[in-house]
Amino acid sequence: MKNIILMGPPGAGKGTNAKRISSFYKIPHISTGDMFREAIKNGTSLGKLANEYISKGLLVPDDVTIGLVKERLSNPDCANGYLLDGFPRTLEQARALEEIGKEIDRPVNHVLNIVVPESILVERISGRRVCKKCGAPFHIKTLQPKVEGVCDLCGGELYQRKDDNEETLKERLNEYHKSTEPLIKFYRDLDLLNDLDGDKPLDEILNKVNDLLKD
């Protein structure tokens, strides 16, 4: 059973790798945002409670988030495994997830931590451009449009999101490291954590994951 947590800083390619890993193992990719939206859409009692906070622009409290995670991991599609992305974010959440795993007999057995040098993260994020019209992503070095500043797909104008700059990224990275260092130690002590080199090609990363997750 592949019960996986995927961790990684902003710009590490977590979303892309999560989709590839979940598709390869045919397990659901569960991000906290998607989980909230699904629970709200399905009108579950916890979904309604979460929506009360979200609609007011407030953070959803830990106990509600943890309840939603338990609800989601108990679904039949997680019987053969799951990939959690964006949870846990704190030590308290990690401890709660350990308890949930025991209660529903679906404990986390692999924690994958994508590691990328800060200089590369800065280059990746500060070079990102997005289409104003359709939201298609581009990059000034690695995914250039055919015509500078113009979306290949719809002809819309490309722009740089205001958070995609070096100064903001460094603040986000400081916050990320502060909150995840205790988590990394927690999972390393449990002998569940493996680092992945996020600067490698996607296929190489997937091959490495496959080697690590072999039973």
- The residues carrying an active-site annotation are 14, 89, 128, 161, 172
Contact 157, 133 (CB under 8 A): yes
* Mode of pairing for the β-strands spanning 128-131 and 137-139: antiparallel
Helix (H/G/I), strand (E/B), else coil: 21: helix
CA distances to 26, 56, 116, 136, 165 from 35, rounded to whole Å, are 18, 18, 27, 23, 29
Place of tokens 């986390």: 108
Query: How many angstroms from the chain centroid is the CA of residue 168?
Result: 19
CA distances to 85, 179, 203, 214 from 176, rounded to whole Å, are 14, 5, 26, 29
Give the C-alpha separation, 28 to 82, whole Å. 5
